[in-house]
Chains A and B, each alone.
Chain A
């Protein structure tokens, strides 16, 4: 695949970004399914978390992802006016217009975040969004601002560590502060 991302260069310095994608169930998740059905090869760094709608995305999810070790975040949903739930994506859009500035304030380079609209028919757009995000974040290097602050027993362990995954998370960041 000519436009698939070239991962060979990055392997040299050993950094492979870890990117979490928050996507809506109806457009982008289905668009990513289509990318799969169409066998559109892309970088393997992105892990998808499925949500019903981008309107469901609490900005804390994104902060949390960075706090726990993500190098980049993708948020993607239905195009404006196409929301399965009529207006969830508009709420998301407004929320992130504000949120964008907060990220810089809390020490996260906004370039680590990608916001896009990918419809259920845009498998190739999803591939491009993924590849572009990976390229951008790889260029920015690992996100380590929070690493030093992380408690030794939480978050730094491999996922098999029971402490990492069983930590009560419902209260968002507060849980980590304790």
Chain B
């Protein structure tokens, strides 16, 4: 038999003004199962809580109902008090007679009746509450960082410096990401490689960081604190332990005309290659698509037609017969930092994007994108920092920069602002003017969005000190006309059409999430927005968490980000991960679903609706070990307690422990009755 204590709070005058608290206590005293009902001026005060504790001890109460404010306000307070008095904290509930009653009604009679109803309802619920224990989940204190750009490197370093092991994986042959391709960085114009490469080396040499390059995530199992990640190490054809990075293989490779990804297509590389001289690790990969030997093998030639790299390798590190291998890593947290790619506006466009055929990108060689300009301006780039146009290697005297190519254009499929282009266009105009003093830099812009420390000053400097000409308006067409690139545009401030005979055009194409982000998101059970950027758990208050506990997000895979923001996010994920690793066990409220294996029919509808992938199928066996059926199992580490599974359960076998059917039907019974 229940022995429930009801404690009605006056909240000073807040409740007592419209609710007759004594009458509520009086009415509840008569309610079956209620052992004691009292009212008090301030129940949350020390004497108020003492009153509750004393009543629990004196009356040996089995449950407590506090008729006071919203549970969001003081549920924790009173649960703690109950706990201190020796009553399981989950036997205590709040009846909200302030926010939902006294504050919104005038009529004292009606408000009192309603307060009695509300309190009775909660009493009926508490009768069916069960003592629950917090869930403890062990934590594997290792982290996985996906993506070795600046965000991933920063996150890995922060976690590793915090004393925990980090597994850093990168799908390319080297870490460094897009930042390693940049010439100088806004708004300070410091050399990108000069600030990045020390970080890359630090990450590589850090005793707590285990680096897998040329690797991708194959599979993710488990849940917060206990992930098991399978990593596909793509066949590199080069033994990482033997290779000493001498570069003899590259020199020997006969396939030397392959467009270099690192040089954004402006330079060439060999089939066996390190992407750039400062690559970390300095170990080549063999590009099997372009390799002469593998081309021959694909044609079915009986004998290998090449093998020069292998002959050149004194360390015998090259093996043409390696295959993809898989390693499994146990980690407790995952940071996603897969970064971005540029909108390739020239090619066929997936996902409803339309491209910009009218801008001639991919057809006119002197129409390039921002990353290509970075390589032209870079001292380590294909022109060693000289601004020379791709078509004939001449120095361009008029360069047009076009902002917002793809960004802020819902018509073409991308509605968002890519955020960094205004700044890097100003930087490009500056770098160009610093190198070609008699050149003209003309920028077509929609708006200048230079929000950031020192950003507006920087873009003003491009105009005022370096003489970049800014034209407010859009470009309608770019095409080749003899030796020049014609740019047709419109100046919206003067209302005039503008035709420019340019030598080169730089398009600030939109930032998009990396290829394969949706598949990765699916493996991690995190959601993406319509563009493929990973969704954060809350846009304001939980910006680096995802809706899957233990999975965090940093950098441009979440939204367009510049370097300082990506680094800040990465350090934020580092703090989150270190916080998670600060305890040996995670403690969680037992507000999770539990399956009754005796009645579960194994239809697995619950698995279909679970937003967290917390439900899996389990075999049940007879005593002699034969599988006799299948039932659902809810992983308490993953379950967030929404109860959606319970509503679809055909056999009423899954139950959310804090909102059982019994509790809710009892509440309904208490509320609905005929006068």
Contacts and interface: CB of A to CB of B under 8 A. Distances in A.
A160 interface: yes
Contact of A68 (B640, B661, B669): B669
Contacts of B672: 18, 20, 64-70, 155
Contact of A61 (B32, B527, B664): B664
B644 A91 contact: yes
Contacts of B619: none
Interface in A42-68: 42, 44, 47-53, 55-58, 61, 64-68
A35 B105 CA distance: 11
B614 to A, nearest CB: 11
B640 to A, nearest CB: 6
Interface stretch (B117-125, B206-214, B252-260, B465-473): B117-125
A56 B100 contact: no
Kindly name the residue among B642, B656, B659 whose own CB sees the greatest number of chain A CB atoms within 10 A. Answer: B642
B604 to A, nearest CB: 15
A99 to B, nearest CB: 11
Nearest to A30: B72
A69 B674 contact: yes
Contacts of A36: 70, 98-101, 103-104
A165 B669 contact: yes
A122 interface: no
A37 interface: yes
A58 B670 contact: no
A44 B32 contact: no
Given A32-B99, A159-B670, A52 B124 contact: no
Contact of A169 (B98, B117, B666): B666
A169 B591 contact: no
B666 A86 contact: no
A44 B18 CA distance: 12
B74 to A, nearest CB: 12
Kindly name the residue among A47, A147, A171, A172 whose own CB sees the greatest number of chain B CB atoms within 10 A. Answer: A47
A85 B642 contact: yes
Contacts of B527: 86
A157 interface: yes
A20 B661 CA distance: 16
Contacts of B532: none
Kindly name the residue among B27, B101, B662, B668 whose own CB sees the greatest number of chain A CB atoms within 10 A. Answer: B668
A87 interface: yes
Given A36-B99, A158-B673, A85 B104 contact: no
A69 B671 CA distance: 9
Given A39-B103, A41-B104, A172-B661, A33 B643 contact: no
Interface string B649-675: 000100010111110111111111111
B241 interface: no
B646 A58 contact: yes
A135 B289 CA distance: 72
A103 interface: no
B190 interface: no
A37 B101 CA distance: 11
Interface in B570-626: 591, 609, 611-612
Contacts of B667: 49
B662 A169 contact: yes
Nearest to B112: A44
A156 B674 contact: yes
Contacts of A51: 643, 659, 664
Contacts of B100: 32-33, 36, 48
A158 B117 CA distance: 11
B438 interface: no
A52 B659 contact: yes
B31 A160 contact: yes
B648 interface: yes
A70 B120 CA distance: 16
Kindly name the residue among B27, B31, B646, B667 whose own CB sees the greatest number of chain A CB atoms within 10 A. Answer: B667
A33 B648 CA distance: 29
B513 interface: no
A142 B612 CA distance: 42
B642 A58 contact: no
Contacts of A48: 96, 100, 118
Contact of A40 (B31, B104, B107): B104
A178 interface: no
Contact of A52 (B33, B117, B641): B641
A2 interface: no
A83 to B, nearest CB: 8
Contacts of B31: 159-160
B642 A160 contact: no
Nearest to B662: A170
Contact of B673 (A55, A68, A86): A68
A177 interface: no
B642 A53 contact: yes
Given A56-B656, A68-B672, A49 B664 contact: yes
Contacts of A39: 103-104
B656 A52 contact: yes
Given A33-B70, A44-B107, A56-B647, A49 B665 contact: no
Given A91-B609, A165-B666, A56 B671 contact: no
B106 A41 contact: yes
Nearest to B105: A44
A59 to B, nearest CB: 8
Interface in B27-81: 27, 30-33, 70-72
Contacts of A61: 664-665, 668
B114 interface: yes
B671 A20 contact: yes
Nearest to A126: B104
A49 B648 CA distance: 19
Given A56-B647, A56-B656, A169-B665, A49 B673 contact: no
Interface of A: 7, 18, 20, 29-30, 32-33, 35-37, 39-42, 44, 47-53, 55-58, 61, 64-70, 84-88, 91, 95, 127, 147, 150, 155-160, 162, 164-167, 169-172
Given A48-B118, A159-B670, 11 more contacts: A7-B107, A20-B672, A33-B99, A44-B110, A49-B668, A50-B71, A52-B656, A52-B658, A56-B644, A61-B664, A88-B643
What 5 pairs between A and B have smallest CB-CB spacing? A36-B99, A56-B643, A169-B665, A55-B644, A85-B642
Interface of B: 27, 30-33, 70-72, 96, 98-101, 103-107, 110-111, 113-114, 117-118, 120-121, 124, 527, 547, 591, 609, 611-612, 640-644, 646-648, 652, 656, 658-662, 664-675
15 contacts: A20-B671, A44-B105, A47-B117, A49-B664, A53-B643, A58-B664, A61-B668, A68-B672, A70-B671, A85-B611, A86-B527, A158-B675, A159-B31, A167-B669, A170-B662
